[in-house]
Amino acid sequence: MNLGCGLAVAKDWLNIDGSLNALIASWPTAIHKLICHVTGAKSYYSCDKYCTLLRNNIFIHHDLSYGIPYKDETADFAIKF
Protein backbone atom coordinates (compact mmCIF):
# COMPACT_ATOMS: atom_id res chain seq x y z
CA MET A 1 0.00 0.00 0.00
CA ASN A 2 1.18 3.48 -0.90
CA LEU A 3 -0.54 5.74 1.65
CA GLY A 4 -1.37 9.36 0.88
CA CYS A 5 0.18 8.99 -2.53
CA GLY A 6 -1.20 11.91 -4.49
CA LEU A 7 0.32 11.24 -7.91
CA ALA A 8 3.57 9.77 -6.49
CA VAL A 9 2.40 6.29 -7.43
CA ALA A 10 4.01 2.94 -6.79
CA LYS A 11 3.46 0.69 -9.82
CA ASP A 12 1.36 -2.41 -9.03
CA TRP A 13 0.66 -1.20 -5.46
CA LEU A 14 -2.61 0.05 -4.01
CA ASN A 15 -2.21 3.84 -4.11
CA ILE A 16 -4.53 5.23 -1.43
CA ASP A 17 -5.34 8.93 -1.31
CA GLY A 18 -8.26 11.28 -0.60
CA SER A 19 -7.56 13.52 -3.58
CA LEU A 20 -9.68 14.33 -6.61
CA ASN A 21 -7.13 12.41 -8.69
CA ALA A 22 -7.73 9.19 -6.76
CA LEU A 23 -11.49 9.73 -6.95
CA ILE A 24 -11.58 10.04 -10.75
CA ALA A 25 -8.86 7.48 -11.58
CA SER A 26 -11.42 4.79 -12.48
CA TRP A 27 -13.45 7.20 -14.62
CA PRO A 28 -13.14 7.31 -18.44
CA THR A 29 -10.04 8.89 -19.98
CA ALA A 30 -12.22 11.59 -21.57
CA ILE A 31 -13.01 12.87 -18.06
CA HIS A 32 -9.30 12.75 -17.11
CA LYS A 33 -8.51 14.94 -20.13
CA LEU A 34 -11.06 17.53 -19.01
CA ILE A 35 -9.98 17.54 -15.37
CA CYS A 36 -6.23 17.66 -16.06
CA HIS A 37 -6.62 21.31 -17.06
CA VAL A 38 -8.12 22.36 -13.71
CA THR A 39 -6.04 20.38 -11.21
CA GLY A 40 -2.72 21.35 -9.68
CA ALA A 41 -1.21 18.43 -11.59
CA LYS A 42 -0.98 20.62 -14.69
CA SER A 43 2.01 22.35 -13.07
CA TYR A 44 3.94 19.06 -12.96
CA TYR A 45 2.59 16.79 -15.69
CA SER A 46 1.46 17.10 -19.27
CA CYS A 47 -2.17 16.13 -19.83
CA ASP A 48 -1.01 12.90 -21.52
CA LYS A 49 1.25 11.97 -18.60
CA TYR A 50 -1.53 12.79 -16.10
CA CYS A 51 -4.01 10.56 -17.97
CA THR A 52 -1.42 7.76 -18.17
CA LEU A 53 -0.77 7.93 -14.41
CA LEU A 54 -4.46 7.63 -13.63
CA ARG A 55 -5.15 4.93 -16.21
CA ASN A 56 -2.14 2.68 -15.52
CA ASN A 57 -2.15 2.58 -11.72
CA ILE A 58 -4.44 1.30 -8.99
CA PHE A 59 -6.00 4.10 -6.92
CA ILE A 60 -8.27 3.80 -3.90
CA HIS A 61 -10.05 7.02 -2.94
CA HIS A 62 -10.06 7.22 0.85
CA ASP A 63 -9.50 9.86 3.55
CA LEU A 64 -6.72 8.40 5.69
CA SER A 65 -7.78 10.47 8.70
CA TYR A 66 -10.37 7.70 9.11
CA GLY A 67 -7.67 5.04 9.17
CA ILE A 68 -6.46 2.57 6.59
CA PRO A 69 -9.40 1.01 4.72
CA TYR A 70 -8.19 -2.60 5.10
CA LYS A 71 -8.06 -5.12 7.91
CA ASP A 72 -4.86 -5.70 9.88
CA GLU A 73 -2.29 -7.95 8.22
CA THR A 74 -3.83 -7.40 4.76
CA ALA A 75 -0.70 -5.92 3.20
CA ASP A 76 2.89 -7.08 3.23
CA PHE A 77 4.18 -3.47 3.07
CA ALA A 78 2.83 0.04 3.45
CA ILE A 79 4.82 3.12 2.42
CA LYS A 80 4.37 6.85 2.70
CA PHE A 81 6.65 8.96 0.52
- Could you read off the pLDDT of 8-41 as tens digits, one per residue? 998 999 999 999 999 999 999 999 999 999 988 9
- Give the separation between CA 39 and CA 37, rounded to whole angstroms: 6
pLDDT value for 44: 94
Please tell me the total count of domains within the chain. Answer: 1
75 lies in some domain: no
- Residue 81 pLDDT level (bands cut at 50, 70, 90): low
Look at residue 78 and tell me whether its pLDDT is greater than 90: no
72 lies in some domain: no
The contacts of residue 23 (CB under 8 Å, 6+ apart) are: 61
32 lies in some domain: yes
Structural domain boundaries enclosing 62 = 2-66
73 lies in some domain: no
19 lies in some domain: yes
36 lies in some domain: yes
74 lies in some domain: no
The contacts of residue 34 (CB under 8 Å, 6+ apart) are: none
- Give the separation between CA 73 and CA 41, rounded to whole angstroms: 33
